[in-house]
Structures are given as C-alpha cells and as structure tokens.
Amino acid sequence: MATKQTAAEVVVVDYGLGNLRSVTRGLERAGADVTLSEDPAEFAAADGIVLPGVGAFSEGMDNAGPFREALVEEAEAGTPLFGICLGMQMLLTTSEEADHEGQGDAEGLDLVPGKNVRFRTDQTVPHMGWNELDVQRDHPLVDGVDGEYAYFVHSYYAEPADDDAVVATTDYGTDFASIVANEAGNVFGTQFHPEKSGETGLQILRNFVGICSE
C-alpha cells in the first residue's frame, strides 16, 4: 500500500492585514496544510511561514510588532518565509511610506537589506493589473514562471541593497524588483499577489510548498 505524502505545514501570519482567505485557499490548492495563526509560538513547528499583507507599511509593521522577534528567529534558523505584497515590502530594512510626510523612513524586518520607494515616473499610481515577470536568476520559487504574467496592486516597490537579492523584475516605467530573496535563499517575497494571479500564481505557491517540503 502506498504511503500518503504528508503536506507541508504552513503557517499564515494573522496580524490583522491581508487577504487571509484567498491566500489560505491558494496554498491549500498548492498542497499545503495551512494554519492561520495569531500566536508566534506556533511558528517554530511550521515547515514554512507566509506573511501576507495589504495596506500601508507603517500600519503593517505596527500590527506585526508582536511577531517581529519570532519571524526573525525563524528566518535565521532557515525556515522558509514568504512575504506577499506588503508582506514582501516588510521584509526590507526601511520604507519611504511613513505615516506622515517628513516623518522619515519606517523600519521593516531587515531580512532582505534594502528600501521601499514610491514610483517616481509619470505612470499612474498605484500600479494595478497584470504585468510580466522577467526572471533574473535561479531560485526554486520561480521555476516555470519566467515570462508569465502576475497581478499587481502597489504604489511602492523594493530597491534591495544587493542586486543579487533581485530574483525577478517587472517593467512599469522602470524595471523594479517584483520578486526578492535573501542571500541564504530561505526568505523571499513577491510584490504581486500569487493568490490572484491564476495559474502563474498557483505555480509559485506550488514551488513554495515544494521548498517547505524539502
């Protein structure tokens, strides 16, 4: 009798911001066993952690404050940590998106060194809709998605301190980092929403579940 393969145990961080239902559904379709959690103590038992997010950077970091230490500990321990949209921006060091103009940069998790900046072109902001992914380097998250299209909604984008952190770019008046990863490769994020990106997004979520299963 064949033994049923155990699905990857993935925790989705519930810090009050994010498309939790659609992210959970997408991960389940990709083969994950998903737990929504407000308890950082549950992170250590997970095969992977997802940090979703929609909204403003400062609010996101304020809400995620109680999770900061646990997220950094798990990232440093090698646990796969996947930031989505605002969650990806929160992986960086700072953001121009402070609560008030002139307040200075807001601080992120500093797991992928770099800064989030606002689009400075004549393009309409926010960047909203489908756009192409141009893979820049190998990473298991992007297997099978080079040249495919994903769904974006954002006004800020990542400028990593190290060019090697850029896994994929997208053109919106400027080539910006649409997928980033840390040097170790276990902390990564997508500026777009894979849970809203059809088959391309599902492939990325499957890739993530595969990383968690290793």
Q: Which residues of the chain have pLDDT under 50?
A: 1-4, 99-103
> What is this structure's pTM?
0.93
Query: How much is the pLDDT for 7?
Result: 79
d(CA 156, CA 164): 20
82 near 189, Cβ under 8 Å?
A: yes
Q: How far apart are CA 90 and CA 57, in angstroms?
A: 7
Output the pLDDT for position 134: 98
Euclidean distance between CA atoms 117 and 120, whole angstroms: 9
Three-state DSSP at 151 gives strand
Strand partners, 181: 188
Query: How far is CA 181 from each of CA 5, 29, 166, rounded to the nearest angstrom?
Result: 28, 24, 7
Number of H helices, E strands in the chain: 5, 14
Tell me the per-residue pLDDT of 154-213, one tens digit each, with 9 for 90 and over. Answer: 999 999 999 999 999 999 999 999 999 999 999 999 999 999 999 999 999 999 999 999
pLDDT at 1: 34
DSSP-derived 3-state class of residue 214: coil
Residue 166: strand, helix, or coil: strand
Which residues are marked as active site? 85, 193, 195
| Whether 116 contacts 96, CB under 8 Å | yes
Three-state DSSP class for residue 148: coil
Q: Rounded distance, CA 189 to CA 50, Å?
A: 9
- With the CA atoms of 199, 203, 208 and 211 taken in that order, what torsion angle do they form, in degrees rounded to the nearest 10? 170
3-state helix, strand, coil in the chain (%, to 5): 30, 30, 40
The token pair that represents 181 in the structure block: 């990863």
Q: How many CB atoms lie within 10 A of CB 187?
A: 27
